[in-house]
Structure 1
Amino acid sequence: MSVSASNAASFNALFAPSTIAVVGASATSVSGGNRFIRHLKAFGYAGRIFPIHPSAAEIEGMPAFTSVSAAPEAIDYAYVAVSAPQVPPLLRSFSGKVRVAQVMSSGFSESSGGHELEHELVRAAREANVRVIGPNCLGVYSPRARVTFTERTTDEAGSVGIVCQSGGLGVDIIRRGQNKGVRFSGLVTVGNCADVRPYELLEYFLASSETSVIGLYLEGAGDGRKLFEILRAAKARKPVVILKGGRTGQGRRAAASHTGALAGSDNGWKALSAQTGAVLVDELDTFLDALLAFQSLPPRVAAAKRAVLFGNGGGASVLGTDALARAGFDVAPFEAGVAAKLQTLKLPAGSSVLNPIDLPAGALQQDEGRAAEAIFDTIAEAGETDVLVMHVNMTVVLSFRHVDMLGNLMNAILRVKSRDRSGMHVVLVLRSDGDPDIEGPKREYRRRAVAAGLPVFDELTSAAEALACVRHFETFRARAAKNT
């Protein structure tokens, strides 16, 4: 199933607009339209911006136009921030001039008495031949095109595409995601989904060469069958992670009041995941961690099963083993030949190389990380490991101030990864106590690691849950390949 030519053109205009009209900016105060213009300018948007106002000559330092039809160019993307009753006639005035409009305005099906007005919005959009995102949504984040609806966003583009039914949660996904190292090809908030539906944007991201991982935050279930058909037809071509709101009775009531959505049954979403390979998660942090893992770890042909845990801290290693086992991984002792090779490395007293591998912090630095690299090489060369989880107690490691212990360890991991041909997944867990003196260096090490393709997690449980998401996808693909 592929995206239609008309939808492709509309959504290309949404994520890479050459011209943007802003309807609802003020010449005398700061409205949502004004803030959007300021965000565009601060983010470095290079296209043309046309403020629309019935009487103002200038808005935000740019010439204003009395209507969209008065603008000197066709409009790729119109940002609409006017009162709800004004929206349908405004959309009709876009006929032949606007490709896609995003309606920020609320007061439609999410509120009492707004359903008929939303139906009128859809009729107006059809008459004007313009696709509408929303209403009741915040906008689009497209770092390649330098388009954003919020502040404090990175212009570093990536491969993760997001469809989000909540504007506020969309902001959280961008900001928390980028702090974890997730980099986006694009994110769109869709609100009430009166016209453009999430499944259409899913089709677009599945077809996009700039997107390799897709995340969906959904509240409604009206498109459940269509989503299922698209995901089934895609045959797990790309990882799709779904965070579904309203999976409990009380959550369904909250979804109805938020976006007017009918949330559907939890069992239906679990069945969709089992039958399509899409990954269903329960929490925002798990959603972001799964996206990070998929961004950094190319799926294996055979699903990952055998795991090795390596780090400093015996108690943490025990808890990490439990977390990996609960996630479906086998943290088994090494085969005799591998164990014998590890024993020949003459590691210091207090070291354990049984799996989990537990080394004193000083041993991690031995010979500028070469001792650790020898362990990594031995594990990789044996070909018995699908997942290697390296965990580090940041407080202890950073106390060795005369040497860049963690930097040396990361370099050792990356050297081994460059030589490995087995497709072993390697992840890093940076444990800390939250001390501000630790968090600063931790952010920098995270940045360096993720830039090199090494996903970083804050807790061993988080790493295990993210790896379980990857394993679910790999298992489905392997089973599907076997049955073809």
Structure 2
Amino acid sequence: MKGPLSPLFSPRSIALIGASASAGKISNVVLKNLLDSPFKVYPVNPREDEILGAHCYPSVSSIPDEIDLALIALPAMLSIRAVEDCIRKGVRIVIVTSSGFAESGQDGKILQDGLRDLIGVSGTRLLGPNTMGLMVPFHGLDTLFIPVEKSRRPPAGSIAIISQSGAVAVSFLEKAESFGMGISACIGLGNRVDINENELLEFFADDPNTDCVALYLESFADGRSFVDIARRISKIKPIVVLKAGRTSSGSRAASSHTGALASDSDELVAGALRQAGVIRVYDDEELVDVARVLAYKGKIDGDRVCVVASAGGFGVIASDFVESKEHGVGMTMAGLSEETRARLSKTMPTFSSVNNPVDLTAEVTDLMYEQVLEALQEDPGIDVIMMSLELQPPHVTQGLVDVAARRSSQGRIPIIISAFGGSRTQETLRALESRKIPSYPTIWRAIRAIAALHQRGSYLMKQK
């Protein structure tokens, strides 16, 4: 994509200022990651001739090439001078990874204000400071200072992550990788001296690789602008926000973490996000769960849920979660039509239930699952199906993954899957994820994802 931020996401050349020859140091880890990328990489260290086989330059000004992106891995005070050098060089975007700025107290705030003043009168843009940088799988870009062997990266996919916390971003990436979910990009905001979530949200709105944007925020750079931008973008792409710092203690912790200023009351924040069509979540697990169901399935147009299970107990638990407003999502268990119940009766054992929840019993087979799902997907009184997938019954095989994929792609009604079990089930969840079928290891997480689809659908319906 073209635009003012394109050198950040797809640079032609990268300088690493403060590159280290010491294994395990942050800048050594970053250099190792960068050297595995397709870009031209220029390590800068006046005390080294070569690091990891790459020729070192004494300064950014001595690099013969134009530099699109520079990463600065130096202490805070030295970072200021390095930014000045980058501005003189004409570097288009600078990432400052260093901490020791506004999050560390008054002295750090003075340094950060100086950094803002430098950037404000230049043509160079800045991400950070106090940021882990970014990862863009489609372009092979990885500036994260976490070793790959300690934190495996997810594949390319359709979800963008914008995070004010490096650890929360890494948590998202590891959860995504664990079940094979892909991302379009992951970017750490840090202290937001220049580039902030509003500009990034605009960027991802136009990014063809991104179907959903997930954000972790401790404060808003400009809350009014965020709501205006989100209101416009949420009509075309879903936005999921984990807004932390909801309490006075959380707000104080945010201030010492990223130098974030206290936001408006959480009640006001919640109302503004809701009116802008933003889906709000409350922990990092829910952020991942909701982002992927919205990226894969988009929305549902009603609140009528049908539950299918081969274990009666799971059907009961799911029904409670669907209907309960206190300990559930307050949606509706769909009533099955006479025609649907008649079709189910021909397929299922005589002692099974053809009501909702549909209990397939331990006599279930792959074929029974398929025939039942097909019948349910043709019932006009159902908006979404939650399928509790159990691999334990004796007649069920791994072919159930193909059944779910087939019905998910061919049927009118979306299917969200819950599965329980050990290592075999985990493999099944990864197989389903690879086919973009939202699948969860607990019933509650599956139902919560369905509620997000309904919230999205309700918002879009009001916009018509």
Give the TM-score, by structure 2 length: 0.93
8 Å CA contact retained: 1:180, 1:456: no
Q: Tell me the distance in 2 between the aligned counterparts of 1:47 and 1:155.
A: 20
Question: 2:381 corresponds to which letter in structure 1?
Answer: E
8 Å CA contact retained: 1:24, 1:31: no
The alignment status of 1:58 with 2:57, answered yes or no, reads no
1:64-99 deviation digits (Å, cap 9, x = unpaired): 001111112111211111011112221111124311
Question: What secondary structure sits across from 1:478 in the alignment?
Answer: helix
Q: Tell me the distance in 2 between the aligned counterparts of 1:271 and 1:418.
A: 35
| Alignment-derived partner of residue 314 in structure 1 | 312
Question: What secondary structure sits across from 1:102 in the alignment?
Answer: strand
| Alignment-derived partner of residue 294 in structure 2 | 294
Question: 1:378 corresponds to which letter in structure 2?
Answer: A
1:74-133 deviation digits (Å, cap 9, x = unpaired): 112111110111122211111243111111101110011211110101122234421111
1:370 to 364, 367, 371: 367
1:233-280 deviation digits (Å, cap 9, x = unpaired): 335210000001101111111101100112412112211222111101
Unpaired segments ≥5 residues, structure 1: 433-437
Compute the displacement of 1:370 (Å): 1.6
| Alignment-derived partner of residue 438 in structure 2 | 455
Question: What secondary structure sits across from 2:192 in the alignment?
Answer: coil
Q: Tell me the distance in 2 between the aligned counterparts of 1:452 and 1:243.
A: 26
Compute the displacement of 1:382 (Å): 2.3
Q: Tell me the distance in 2 between the aligned counterparts of 1:453 and 1:406.
A: 20
Which runs of 4 or more aligned residues in structure 1 lie more than 3 Å from their structure 2 counterparts after TM superposition?
27-30, 152-155
Q: What are the within-5 Å matches in structure 2 for residues 364-403 of structure 1?
A: 365=365, 369-394=366-391, 396-397=392-393, 400=394
Compute the displacement of 1:28 (Å): 4.8
Question: 1:460 corresponds to which letter in structure 2?
Answer: I
1:341 to 340, 343, 366: 343
Q: What are the within-5 Å matches in structure 2 for residues 45-444 of structure 1?
A: 45-95=37-87, 96-113=89-106, 114-148=108-142, 149=144, 150=146, 151=148, 152-154=151-153, 156-264=155-263, 265-300=265-300, 303-325=301-323, 326-345=328-347, 347-363=348-364, 365=365, 369-394=366-391, 396-397=392-393, 400=394, 405-420=396-411, 422=412, 424-432=413-421, 438-439=422-423, 441-444=424-427
Q: 1:170 to 1:419 in 2, by over 3 A?
A: closer
Q: Tell me the distance in 1 between the aligned counterparts of 2:140 and 2:57.
A: 23
How many pairs were matched up?
452
Q: Tell me the distance in 2 between the aligned counterparts of 1:214 and 1:263.
A: 24
1:314-370 deviation digits (Å, cap 9, x = unpaired): 12111111112232321133122322222222x22542121101122332x2xxx22
| Alignment-derived partner of residue 463 in structure 2 | 480
Q: Tell me the distance in 1 between the aligned counterparts of 2:237 and 2:330.
A: 22
Q: Tell me the distance in 2 between the aligned counterparts of 1:157 and 1:27.
A: 30
Question: What secondary structure sits across from 2:5 in the alignment?
Answer: helix
Compute the displacement of 1:155 (Å): 5.9
Q: 1:447 to 1:233 in 2, by over 3 A?
A: same
Compute the displacement of 1:373 (Å): 1.4
8 Å CA contact retained: 1:192, 1:260: yes
Give the TM-score, by structure 1 length: 0.89
Question: 2:429 corresponds to which letter in structure 1?
Answer: R
Q: Tell me the distance in 2 between the aligned counterparts of 1:118 and 1:254.
A: 19
Q: Tell me the distance in 2 between the aligned counterparts of 1:248 and 1:185.
A: 32
Identity among equivalent pairs (%): 28
Unpaired segments ≥5 residues, structure 2: none
Q: Tell me the distance in 2 between the aligned counterparts of 1:155 and 1:412.
A: 26
Question: What secondary structure sits across from 1:469 in the alignment?
Answer: helix
